[in-house]
């Protein structure tokens, strides 16, 4: 959901001036990478936690 919003913002940035556009493009790419890494990190953390809970439940 957040990635879609960022991509829509990026399309709006493309309509601005070229110097401002290049700065915002780079900033947007960095934000997308950070958001994707954060999502992967939280998903992996939740999966690891649920695996630990299942192991404890079996014992």
Q: How confident is the model over 9-43, as pLDDT tens digits?
A: 777 766 665 666 678 788 888 888 888 888 888 87
Residue 24: per-residue pLDDT? 78
Tell me: pLDDT of 1 over 70: no
- pTM of the entire predicted model: 0.47
The pLDDT value recorded for residue 28 is 85
Question: Do 13 and 24 form a contact (C-beta atoms < 8 A)?
Answer: yes
Residue 59 has pLDDT above 70, yes or no: no
Domain ranges for the chain: 2-58
């Amino acid at each position: 959901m957040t990635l879609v919003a960022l991509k829509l913002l990026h399309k709006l940035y493309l309509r601005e001036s070229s110097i401002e556009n290049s700065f915002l493009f780079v900033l947007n790419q960095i934000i997308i990478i950070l958001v994707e890494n954060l999502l992967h990190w939280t998903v992996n953390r939740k999966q690891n936690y649920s695996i630990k809970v299942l192991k404890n439940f079996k014992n």
